[in-house]
Homo-oligomer: A and B are copies of this chain.
Amino acid sequence: MMLMKKTVNIGLIGFGTIGSGVVETFNRNLPLIEDKVDAKVVLKKIVDLDIVTDRGVQVDPDLLSTNVDDILEDPDMDIVIELIGGYQPALNFILKAIENGKHVVTANKALLARHWEEIMDAARKTGVRVCFEASVGGGIPLLEPLNDSLAANKIQSIYGIINGTANYILTKMSEEGRDFEEVLKEAQKLGYAEQDPTFDVEGHDSAQKLIILTILGFGVYIKQENFHVEGISMITPQDIQFASKELGCVIKLLAISQLLDGQLEVRVHPTLVPEDHLLAAVNGVFNGVYIVGDVVGPVLMYGPGAGMLPTASAVVSDCMDIVGDSKKPLIYGPQISSVESIKPMTEIESRYYLRITAIDKPGVLHSISGILSNFDISIESVNQEKRDEGQEVPIFMVTHHAKEQNMLNAVEKIESLESVTKNTVFIRLL
């Protein structure tokens, strides 16, 4: 007598890029997948508003539907994959799936970052699992290692590059000495950047992912409006060149969550990273994240942070994880948090790189250095390019460790100087 293997039915909501990657992954590797989880795995239904456009993947037309209830209300559906993104109707779909006792796999970082507690509370009530490896770092094994393989650690810091678009732009600017706007346009043409790139280049995408990492690492849920998020649009080839030549650094958009004396710093901003640091070698659309634990020390996970197939790898592996253990309790992050408070951004300390644009005339540097000194900021180095007197000139400075609040105050004063003609750019050093 042969034992019947259990059958697991999966419904996919959202037949876009990643959804197509999921279908392609099942097409390619179904026998491997089924054998690994020792079950029959059926992609039973695919729901999308558009079920006409050819996605370039082989799919049985009978699987396609425009009615989400074909998934959410199907009593035989075990796992619901949500890949439509955004807040609504994704939230309602996920809550309905949970209410109906279905496990959920999602790549929706925006939704998780905003509705984390609501979703997890609902899932705990009906005893289903919610998995979201694909939501941060695309295909990189990142959340499972953080939550499970490093579970014996108090996490001390998590920091890295978690937005491929911004990293692609910075890499190109650095390699080719080109302007932000120019590289952005090229990235849009190549499909690496959205038509409205704000979300990626201004750090919001990184911020949402950092919220999830911070829950898993520190057991703390912090809303995006409660931490500092800054993008890369003000960075110029001059900054990159100076960083490389004078400081041996590259500029990367980092998401940082780190615990110092019970105070948690959470922030997203461009950062000067030494060239011999592994994160400096994370280029193009790749992502890389350091996790530092009190027992293990520093580990790094690196790989493709987005894209149809890499992200699908994480989605399908999450489904397999659920099949393997559908009863695993939803314990994300340490239950005892070591975080006593969230450190206000104004209180962080850092070394700073400054680019001040001023009219080259006697006394300017004297005024600037006086302001910095008044705010307790000591200068490590100054470089001023030679121009004709009376012309606009960039002044590059690097400071020793200073308080963010002092830097903000100093920059405000500097910008109020008559001879300072443009906004001052300041970038923190790692």
Interface residues of A, Cβ cutoff 8 Å to B: 21, 25, 28-29, 31-33, 35-38, 133, 139-141, 144-145, 148-154, 276, 278, 281, 293-304, 307, 309-310, 312-314, 316-317, 319-321, 324-325, 328-329, 331, 334-336
Other A-B pairs, 16, CB within 8 Å; known A295-B316, A297-B310: A28-B154, A29-B153, A31-B336, A33-B152, A36-B334, A36-B335, A38-B329, A38-B331, A141-B148, A145-B145, A148-B320, A149-B314, A295-B313, A297-B307, A299-B302, A299-B303
Q: Which B residues touch A310, using CB under 8 A?
A: 295-297
Q: Which B residues touch A33, using CB under 8 A?
A: 151-152
Q: How far is the CB of A133 from chain B (nearest CB, A)?
A: 6
Number of identical monomers bound together in the oligomeric complex: 2
Q: Can you name the residue of chain B whose Cβ is closest to the Cβ of A155? A: B32
17 A-B pairs in the complex with CB atoms less than 8 angstroms apart: A28-B154, A28-B294, A29-B153, A29-B295, A32-B335, A36-B335, A141-B148, A149-B317, A150-B313, A150-B317, A152-B316, A152-B320, A278-B302, A281-B281, A297-B303, A299-B301, A301-B302
**Known interface pairs A32-B334, A310-B296, A329-B38; A148-B144 also in contact (CB < 8 Å):** yes
Q: Which 8 A-B pairs have the closest CB atoms?
A: A141-B149, A299-B303, A141-B145, A152-B316, A35-B335, A296-B313, A139-B296, A300-B302
Q: Which B residues touch A281, using CB under 8 A?
A: 276, 278, 281
**Known interface pairs A32-B154, A334-B36; A300-B297 also in contact (CB < 8 Å):** no
Provide the bound-state CA to CA distance between A303 and B302, in Å: 11
**Known interface pairs A28-B295, A299-B139; A317-B148 also in contact (CB < 8 Å):** yes
Q: Can you name the residue of chain B whose Cβ is closest to the Cβ of A310? A: B296
Partner of A300, one of B294, B300, B314: B300
Q: Which B residues touch A301, using CB under 8 A?
A: 141, 145, 299-302
Provide the bound-state CA to CA distance between A149 and B123, in Å: 22
**Known interface pairs A295-B29, A310-B296; A133-B152 also in contact (CB < 8 Å):** no
Q: Indicate if the CB atoms of A304 and B296 lie closer than 8 Å.
A: yes
Q: How far is the CB of A132 from chain B (nearest CB, A)?
A: 12
Q: Which B residues touch A295, using CB under 8 A?
A: 21, 25, 28-29, 139, 309-310, 312-313, 316
**Known interface pairs A139-B295, A313-B295, A336-B35; A151-B303 also in contact (CB < 8 Å):** no
Q: How far is the CB of A334 from chain B (nearest CB, A)?
A: 5
Q: Which B residues touch A145, using CB under 8 A?
A: 141, 144-145, 149, 301
Q: Which B residues touch A139, using CB under 8 A?
A: 293, 295-297, 299
Q: How far is the CB of A376 from chain B (nearest CB, A)?
A: 36
Q: How far is the CB of A33 from chain B (nearest CB, A)?
A: 6
Provide the bound-state CA to CA distance between A332 and B299, in Å: 23
**Known interface pairs A141-B141, A149-B317, A316-B152; A303-B300 also in contact (CB < 8 Å):** yes
Provide the bound-state CA to CA distance between A151 and B133, in Å: 13
Q: Can you name the residue of chain B whose Cβ is closest to the Cβ of A133? A: B149
Q: Which B residues touch A25, using CB under 8 A?
A: 152, 295
Q: Can you name the residue of chain B whose Cβ is closest to the Cβ of A276? A: B281
Q: Which B residues touch A297, using CB under 8 A?
A: 139, 303-304, 307, 309-310
Q: Which B residues touch A150, using CB under 8 A?
A: 141, 313, 317
Q: Indicate if the CB atoms of B331 and A152 lie closer than 8 Å.
A: no
Q: Indicate if the CB atoms of B336 and A32 lie closer than 8 Å.
A: yes
Provide the bound-state CA to CA distance between A331 and B38, in Å: 9
Q: Which of A31, A32, A35, A276 has the largest count of B CB atoms less than 10 A from its CB?
A: A32
Q: Which B residues touch A28, using CB under 8 A?
A: 154, 294-295
Q: Which B residues touch A298, using CB under 8 A?
A: 303-304
Q: Indicate if the CB atoms of B329 and A313 lie closer than 8 Å.
A: no
Q: Can you name the residue of chain B whose Cβ is closest to the Cβ of A315? A: B152
Provide the bound-state CA to CA distance between A144 and B297, in Å: 18
Q: How far is the CB of A195 from chain B (nearest CB, A)?
A: 26
Provide the bound-state CA to CA distance between A153 and B133, in Å: 15
Q: How far is the CB of A65 from chain B (nearest CB, A)?
A: 24
